């Protein structure tokens, strides 16, 4: 079987601007995520905001089975044309794994139709416990029923999003809030997973359980069957003879306006 082709997209601004963040992620968050996905046997490339077309050319996307997305402070700098391109690929079946603040990215908001930047947040490095909601879900295989991140940014309900297909994780935070932190959606033929942790100021993506979730999610989100080729409005011969077939005598019903 050929390897799963993954592209890891990162804003890559915190890492290039702040030494403190570079100390945590010397190769950038994209470098860290790409590293453990490669170790899991995937064919991985990376793309960043500063690259031409944000590194997401049509050719790159056509050769991507699953796109991983991390963005935080520059969602509005992502060109609409590229968002549209990613959107079309998801509709055609490309998987999308959206991390942390990616809930407010143009692509996640377009796909879910949400004002998903709306939530509570607090950045004091408190403890987060992620609880598995469905132990049978492919994304949680190999995980314990809960795991702990000692320091994370807090996201709290109410999280204004459309109802997901499935809630895979719920997080508890030291300060008392809870959050739906692992969510699945289907849009067109594409599978989408949103995973909450991953604030840049903490080494979250080095956590073994976080890595397992992302590896599982990429495997889960890979494309299934291809979209059948259907021409809009095409009239097919019936596959079985139609008894008492009748001509449409109300053909005028299909005419919206009289021709000039
Ligand atoms: Zn954050």
SS (H, E, C) 31-85: HHHHHHHHHCCCEEEEEECCCHHHHCCHHHHHCCCEEEEECCCCHHHCCHHHHHH
Q: Ligand 1 mean position to 10 CA, how many Å?
A: 13
Residue 231 located in a structural domain: no
Residues 71, 78 contacting (CB under 8 angstroms): yes
Q: Ligand 1 mean position to 20 CA, how many Å?
A: 15
Q: Ligand 1 mean position to 97 CA, how many Å?
A: 16
Q: Ligand 1 mean position to 259 CA, how many Å?
A: 57
Residue 75 located in a structural domain: yes
Residue 88 located in a structural domain: yes
| Number of separate helices (H) and strands (E) present in the chain | 7, 9
Q: Ligand 1 mean position to 202 CA, how many Å?
A: 9
Residues 56, 38 contacting (CB under 8 angstroms): no
- Which pTM was predicted? 0.90
Q: Ligand 1 mean position to 238 CA, how many Å?
A: 56
Q: Ligand 1 mean position to 201 CA, how many Å?
A: 8
Residue 251 located in a structural domain: no
pLDDT at 2: 85
Residue 111 located in a structural domain: yes
Q: Ligand 1 mean position to 13 CA, how many Å?
A: 13
| Residue 3: CA count within 13 A, CB half-sphere | 12
Q: Ligand 1 mean position to 199 CA, how many Å?
A: 4
Residue 104 located in a structural domain: yes
Residue 162 located in a structural domain: no
Cα-based distances in Å from 118 to 133, 185, 205:
23, 18, 24
Instruction: Report which secondary-structure segment, H or E, holds 22.
Output: helix 19-24
Q: Ligand 1 mean position to 99 CA, how many Å?
A: 10
pLDDT at 239: 83
Q: How far is CA 91 from the centre of its chain?
A: 12
Q: Ligand 1 mean position to 28 CA, how many Å?
A: 15
- Give residues whose Cβ lies within 5 Å of ion ligand 1: 153, 199
Q: pLDDT means per 10 residues in the chain (260 residues)?
A: 92 92 96 98 97 96 97 94 97 96 96 84 97 97 98 95 96 98 96 98 98 98 76 76 80 66
Q: Ligand 1 mean position to 153 CA, how many Å?
A: 6
Q: What is the CATH number of the domain that holds 29?
A: 3.40.50.880
Q: Ligand 1 mean position to 171 CA, how many Å?
A: 15
Q: Ligand 1 mean position to 49 CA, how many Å?
A: 17
Q: Backbone phi, then psi, for 116, in 5-degree steps?
A: -80, 10
Neighbours of 220 (CB within 10 A): 18
CA 58, CA 2: separation in Å to the nearest integer?
A: 21
Structural domains in the chain (count): 1
CA 223, CA 260: separation in Å to the nearest integer?
A: 47
pLDDT at 70: 97
Q: Ligand 1 mean position to 52 CA, how many Å?
A: 25
Measuring CA to CA, which residue among 178, 179, 174 is closest to residue 151?
Answer: 174
CA 69, CA 248: separation in Å to the nearest integer?
A: 50
CA 3, CA 45: separation in Å to the nearest integer?
A: 13
Domain that holds residue 65: 5-115+181-221
Residue 86 located in a structural domain: yes
CA 4, CA 209: separation in Å to the nearest integer?
A: 21
pLDDT at 258: 64
The pair of three-digit structure tokens given for residue 108, joined into one six-digit string = 């996640």
pLDDT at 236: 74
Q: Ligand 1 mean position to 225 CA, how many Å?
A: 35
pLDDT at 230: 66
């Amino acid at each position: 079987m050929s390897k799963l082709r993954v592209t890891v997209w990162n804003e890559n601004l915190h890492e290039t601007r702040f030494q403190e963040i570079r100390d945590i992620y010397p190769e950038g968050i994209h470098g860290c995520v790409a590293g453990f996905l490669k170790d899991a046997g995937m064919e991985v490339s990376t793309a960043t905001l500063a690259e031409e077309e944000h590194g997401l050319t049509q050719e790159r996307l056509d050769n991507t089975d699953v796109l991983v997305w991390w963005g935080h402070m520059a969602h509005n700098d992502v060109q609409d044309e590229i968002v549209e391109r990613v959107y079309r690929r998801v509709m055609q079946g490309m998987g999308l794994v959206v991390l942390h603040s990616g809930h407010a990215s143009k692509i996640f908001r377009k796909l879910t139709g949400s004002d998903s930047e709306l939530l509570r947040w607090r950045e004091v490095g408190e403890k987060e416990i992620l609880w598995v909601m469905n132990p049978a879900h492919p994304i949680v295989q190999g995980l314990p029923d809960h795991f702990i991140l000692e320091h994370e940014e807090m996201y709290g309900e109410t999280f204004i999003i459309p109802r997901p297909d499935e809630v895979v994780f719920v997080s508890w935070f030291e300060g008392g809030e809870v959050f739906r932190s692992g969510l699945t959606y289907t849009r067109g033929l594409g599978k989408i997973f949103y995973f909450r942790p991953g604030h840049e100021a903490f080494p979250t993506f080095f956590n073994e359980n976080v890595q397992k979730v992302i590896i599982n999610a990429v495997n889960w989100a890979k494309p299934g069957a291809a979209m059948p080729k259907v021409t809009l409005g095409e009239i097919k011969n019936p596959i079985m003879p139609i008894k008492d077939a009748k001509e449409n005598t109300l053909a005028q019903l299909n005419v919206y306006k009289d021709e000039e």
